[in-house]
Amino acid sequence: MGTMRAKDVIKRHILNGILIPLADGLIQGVTEGRISIGHNMTGNTVNSYAAGVYVRGQLVYIKTSSESIPKPLRRKLGKGERFYAGNIRWDEEMQESTFTANVSTNGTTEAERSIAFLRSYKPSPNGWALVVCNGVEYAAYQENEMKIDVLTTNLNFAKMFALSMFKPMTD
């Protein structure tokens, strides 16, 4: 009986004391980072971050960036659509030059694809998992072609932030 209770206390602590705060911190960090570096034309990329916490393969928690920031100005630009010079961007800056989208999208807004991905993702049924994603179809294009950080820095932040949550036992 005591062993089962101890295991339950440990499991609750891992979930509520480590993984959920880590998911929240990662979403806050990546959202703040994305806002600070700019490149937020319509606001869809910055609104599309999501973190999911899994226990034994089951999704038990989702946190999205769209919960805490202004909604996108409009739906995602589809391939060939333009955002014109002179328009006010999501980040309240004026668009300096006309931008033509190079990637096809589903034309939605916010974190819909991220949440759908987290719900469809199948981690190991043994143990815990934390997944952070961005649901815009052009996230890889932004990272690789435009050299805009979408998730890369988040990995290093995750390592630092996660390690700060573990403390040595006192004597």
Q: Which residue has the tokens 């403390």?
A: 167
Q: Which residue has the tokens 């006309």?
A: 98
- This prediction's pTM: 0.85
Three-state SS for 82?
A: strand
> What is the per-residue pLDDT across 89-133, written as a single tens digit (0 to 9) for each?
999 999 999 999 988 888 777 688 899 999 999 999 998 999 999
> What is the per-residue pLDDT across 38-80, written as a single tens digit (0 to 9) for each?
889 999 999 999 999 999 999 999 999 999 999 999 888 989 9
Q: Give the pLDDT of residue 11.
A: 86
Q: Which residue has the tokens 């990637």?
A: 103
Cα gap 15→25, rounded to integer Å:
14
Q: Is the distance from CB of 98 to CB of 89 less than 8 angstroms?
A: no
